[in-house]
A and B are shown apart, each in its own frame.
Chain A
Amino acid sequence: MNNAMKHGQTLLTEGEDALRDVQLAHKPLRFDRIGLWTLALAIGGGFAYTVGTNKNFGWPIVAQYFFDPAVIQGLTVTLGLTVVAMVLGVILGLLLAVARMSKDRLASSLSSLFIWFFRGTPLLVQLIFWYNLSTLFPKLSIGIPFGPTLASWNTNDLVTPVTAAIIGLALNEAAYMAEIIRGGLLSVDRGQSETAEAFGMTRARALRRIILPQAMRSIVPPTGNQLISMIKATSLVSVIAMADLLYSVQSIYNRTFEVIPMLLVAVVWYLLITSVLNVGQGAIERYYSRGDRGQQLAARKEPETALTGDAA
């Protein structure tokens, strides 16, 4: 009996029980699974071969332009815009989420209004509006409403294509991130904020130390989605004359007429970035799930001494 409990150590020895010890069990070969795997690999390989050898795809041209300075320049713009807009979007989104959940009516209404507007209108239209802000407001000024002006600027000096792109993408992103973060904050057990409160923590500290780290587990996966959509959404900025990755390959094929190969250059770059992001997302998710199930298994292997170690 005792031998049977130390699993992974000793085998059962008596009669047929010795053969029935599940430690010795084999996994049967499943021929249907092998068949399906072979079929899937064959179809996949066949498809890859067809695409790879098809002259119409122009793979040599893809290779030739893959590291073209214009493409790399566009790639930098795409990555730079994504990072800046995403960082701003997440920060603003966090503020909006907290404001929306606050008991203060003014804060929550303003936040709701913002989210309603920026989620409710197409990003493309928002970008065009920001870009053409100068036709609506030729001058921007800081002052007291209906009172004196303190400072004033030419709109065109402030809102360049770069700033229009950043503002447009960031504000739009903030609206979506606000809802993602709010969802995450709501997913944390109510008892956690109550405990933080009972221990005399300020709201800000409770959010930073107790609530957000737990909310991150449900915030990170949809944020990964957002980041990936953002990379592709940056291609919209080509309408306001920003030379992002897609815009650069387009300007090349407008000259060379190699439409498909140049689009493939962009596709491969987008896929590469996305793959890198997936790896990063996995690492972040693992970090925020510490103290969760995976490590429970590790702890089970320790001897359970403390169960007997009473306080007396």
Chain B
Amino acid sequence: MSPAIANTPLVRARNVHKSFGPLEVLKGIDLDVASGEVVTILGPSGSGKSTFLRCINHLESINQGLIEVDGEQIGYRLQKGRLDKLPNRAIAAQRRKIGMVFQQFNLYPHMTALENVIEAPVGVHGQNSKEARRYATELLARVGLSEKVNSYPRQLSGGQQQRVAIARALAIQPKLLLFDEPTSALDPELVGEVLTTMRDLASQGLTMIVVTHEIGFAREAADRVVFMDDGSVVEVGPPEEVISRPQHPRTRSFLSRFI
């Protein structure tokens, strides 16, 4: 791989604007995420951090600016100087490199844990079912759920469900993993098991963007912390700077609530 390619960030967001009707939720976000980097996005509710995350895999379309993942512009294609909206099928293809973990887990309730994990690899990526099963079993073991392979989501605790959801996102061997407040819907005593799993992944060199309220996780596992407020990035830097020595008064007042 040439150094020029190696230096291109995996995710590149430039001047991203997003409005819901008259309400502008993203007011020009710029962010680069390098391959293998773990970035956490912190910020008060309503700061636009979840919306920004959902723009990265085009669950929300943006109104201005551009987002690139792995060198491809998400949702659009530039051809002969003209920018065209991609058809749904092409957008679906772009999403296949990106895994996502949701706040409400969103497991498929009519499928067992194993079926949840192999659904996309077999059905979307065309993997051989036997191989997919083997890999899914391995992933479920990695998140500590070997014994729950054949359980349905409703038979699992919230923390277990979220760990299945993480295995499901890993099963497509994504270039990028998006976490949308993965512990916010969990009972306090179940947060730990999910964070442990995520810390594990972070140490394995996966590229992760994590929207969270878990300051502790950001401090220990993140390479960089982004602090967002009111639709803008207020501060970006390594956790020891942004969390321990915040420069901006808004970051300070937000963090003071957690200490």
Contacts and interface: CB of A to CB of B under 8 A. Distances in A.
Interface of A: 189, 191-192, 194-195, 197-203, 205, 209-210, 213-214, 288, 290-293, 295-296, 299, 305-307, 309-312
B236 interface: no
Nearest to A309: B144
A209 B148 contact: no
Contacts of A213: 110
12 contacts: A191-B106, A195-B102, A198-B98, A199-B120, A201-B124, A290-B152, A291-B154, A295-B152, A296-B154, A306-B147, A310-B144, A310-B193
Nearest to A188: B109
Interface in B56-114: 57, 59, 88-89, 92-96, 98-100, 102, 104, 106, 108-112
B159 to A, nearest CB: 8
Contacts of B147: 305-306, 309
Contact of B196 (A199, A290, A311): A311
Interface string B142-167: 11111110011111010010010000
Nearest to B168: A199
B155 A295 contact: yes
B88 A202 contact: yes
B196 to A, nearest CB: 5
Count chain B CB atoms within 10 A of each CB in A189, A192, A200, A295 and give the residue with the most: A200
The 9 closest A-B pairs by CB, nearest first: A291-B152, A200-B96, A299-B155, A311-B197, A200-B95, A195-B106, A199-B120, A191-B106, A311-B144
B181 interface: no
Given A198-B98, A214-B108, 5 more contacts: A189-B106, A191-B104, A194-B102, A199-B124, A290-B110
B110 A214 contact: yes
Interface of B: 57, 59, 88-89, 92-96, 98-100, 102, 104, 106, 108-112, 119-120, 123-124, 142-148, 151-155, 157, 160, 163, 172, 192-193, 196-197, 200
A307 B154 CA distance: 15
Given A291-B110, A306-B145, A311-B142, A200 B152 contact: no
B145 A201 contact: no
Contacts of A293: 154
Contact of A306 (B99, B109, B144): B144
A200 B93 contact: yes
Contact of A202 (B92, B106, B111, B148): B92
Which of B93, B112, B123, B193: most chain A CB closer than 10 A? B123
B124 A291 contact: no
A239 to B, nearest CB: 43
Contact of A210 (B93, B108, B142): B108
Contacts of A198: 57, 59, 95, 98, 100
A213 B111 CA distance: 10
Contacts of A195: 100, 102, 106, 108
A202 B88 CA distance: 8
B13 to A, nearest CB: 18
B196 A310 contact: yes
